[in-house]
Structure 1
Amino acid sequence: MGVLAAERIKLTSTRSPLWCAVLTVVFALGITALFGLLLNVAHSTWESRPDLGAPPPNADNALAGLGIMGAAPIIPGFGYILIMILATLAVTNEYRFGTIKSTFLAMPNRSLVLTTKAAMIAVGGALLSAVLTFLGFFILKGVTNDVVGQTLSLSNGSLRVFYAVPIFVALTVFLAVGVGALLRQSAGAISLLIVWPVLVEPIVGAFGKYGKNIEVFLPFKNADRFLGTAADSSYWHWGPWVSLIYFAAFVAIVFGAALVVVNKRDA
């Protein structure tokens, strides 16, 4: 309980967690409203020019992009990245300012400290993402017209996003804390956490059939599969829940390596 109280004080007494949370709320809800308006315009354009091709997606196709994820079917969702930045800074800032030494002197069980820190941020991030997902749903329902939002309903059994996004966010927090503890440097850890899912994995998938065969083994692509945002399902060897286990195993390996390194290296 002492470790829990200490980590709570650290999290609530610094500005970076507050700013990351505020930016996450503004971005997530703002991009959801913007995406709904763009869907209205796209459908209006298609109705006047059906020769343009297939109709744009309805609002229910965008549900996996609600809340914390931003409009994932159109642009990469950056909401969860802000949560990862928050989690990373919670570790790297302690190494930067030397407070981690006092923490480990007060609590020699370093694994407990790191796990408690990750668990607290994971719970907070998951709760925030759940709230934003529901708010995003009602915002999308409110800004879309009757045609675009006709299939958007809470009774739709396919709305896995309402529990999938919080699970995903909680796992990314443990991943970010692990990477932060391994690298101990804010710029490097944050760069890696942003570049990997936003740039590296999409580039691999762009290499035709060979890239598609490789990307099914990439961690964030498996997270996309679980969230329902994976573009092509024909290359996958397993279902969404196995993809979740795959991503969770990857997170566990990184976080486990961080625990080993933290216990072996000097603070």
Structure 2
Amino acid sequence: MGVLAAERIKLTSTRSPVWCTVLMVVAVLGMALLFGLLLKLGVDQFNKDVEAGKADPADIPYPTNSIASLGITGLASGFPGFGYILVMIVAALAVTSEYRFGTIKATFLALPNRASVLVAKAGLISVAAAVLSAVLTLLSFLIFKGVTGSDAGRELSLADGDNKVFYAVPLFIVLVVFLSIGVGALLRQSAGALAVLIVWPVLIEPIVGFFGERGEQVQVLLPFQNAGRFLDTVRTDLPWHWGPWGGLAYFAVFVALVFGAALFVVNRRDA
């Protein structure tokens, strides 16, 4: 409990987590608002085409929960995916900043069990980020439904339909935190850790898919693509070897390997 209290003080007494949280809220809710407005305009235009006899009323693209999830997962995907990137920044800096300013030495002197320090950091940040992501996902859905209105949003419902996004996003965020803590502990440098965590899912993994059939065969084995498989934010026509839950398990194993390597390395080398 003392370790958790110390990590809580470190997390709440610095400015970067506060600013990242504010940016996360603005980005995620703003994305839901924008996506909702775009879909409402599309449905309204389609209704005008129906009145003009240019379209079939049965083909009106009323957004469903599954479509709405694409606009309310700014924590996990979308353009440019600010939500989960900011979570990774906070988690990585929680480790690398201590190495940068040398405070990690005092932490390890006070608590020789170094593994418990990393576990406490990851546990505290993951719980806080998961709760925040769950709240933002719900608020995003409510904003999305409110913006689309009673006509365009008639198929949107919390009681009916696919509500996977409400638990999928927090699960993803928890794994992302452990991954970021692990990468930060392995590299120890903020710039290097953030470069890996941002460039890998945003740039490298999507580029692989552009190399034709060979690229797609490699793409389905990449960690963040498998996380997207679980979140339903990537292409479903790729040659996947497993379903959404298999994608989550694959990503979890990858995170466990990175975090396990971080625990091993932290206990073997000097602070």
Question: What TM-score does the superposition give when structure 2 sets the normalisation length?
Answer: 0.90
Q: Aligned to 1:160, which of 159, 164, 173? A: 164
Kindly indicate whether residue 117 of structure 2 is the aligned counterpart of residue 113 of structure 1: yes
Question: How large is the Cα RMSD of the aligned pairs?
Answer: 2.0
Shift of 1:69: 2.2
**TM-aligned CA distance change 1:196 to 1:157, over 3 Å:** same
Show the counterpart of 1:251. Answer: 255
Query: What's the CA shift string for 1:3-29, capped at 9, x where partnerless?
Result: 111111111111111111111111111
In structure 2, the partner of 1:58 is 63
User: Equivalent residue of 2:149, what SS?
Assistant: coil
Aligned length: 263
Verify: 1:149 aligned to 2:146, yes or no. no
Provide the identity percentage: 61
* Cα distance in 2 between the residues matched to 1:153 and 1:168: 23
Distance in 1 of aligned mates of 2:103 and 2:191: 18
The aligned counterpart of 1:25 is 25
Alignment partner, residue 89 of structure 1: 93
Please list the CA deviations of residues 228-258 of structure 1 after superposition, one character each: whole Å capped at 9, or x if unmatched.
1122245211111111110000000000111
Post-superposition CA distance 1:74-104 (Å, at most 9, x none):
x342201101100011011001111000000
State the alpha-carbon separation in 1 of the partners of residues 45 and 233 from structure 2.
Answer: 25
1:143 and 1:119 map into 2 onto residues whose CA distance is 36
Distance change in 2, residues 1:71/1:102 (3 Å): closer
Distance 2:95 2:220 in 1: 30
| 1:88-145 per-position Cα deviation (integer Å, ceiling 9, x unaligned) | 1101100111100000000000000011100100000000000000000100000013
CA contact (8 A) 2:28 2:136 kept: yes
Task: Give ranges in structure 2 of 5+ residues lacking alignment.
Answer: none
| Structure 2 Cα separation of the partners of residues 183 and 45 of structure 1 | 52
Match of 1:223 among 208, 220, 227: 227
Q: Which has the larger radius of gyration?
A: 2
Which amino acid in the other structure matches residue 94 of structure 1?
A: E
Deviations 1:128-165 (A, max 9, x none): 00000000010000001345322211123422010000
- 2:40–2:148: 8 Å Cα contact kept in structure 1? yes
Counterpart of 1:41 in structure 2: which amino acid?
A: L
Tell whether 2:189 aligns with 1:185: yes
Q: Which runs of 5+ in 1 are unaligned?
A: none
| Corresponding residue of 2:75 | 69
8 A contact 2:31–2:71 mirrored in 1: no
**TM-score normalized by the length of structure 1:** 0.92
- 93-102 vs 231-240, greater mean Cα deviation: 231-240
Provide closer, same or farther for how the CA distance between residues 44 and 210 of structure 1 changes in structure 2, counting only shifts above 3 A: farther
On the 8 A contact 2:62/2:155 being kept in 1, the answer is no
Match of 1:203 in 2: 207
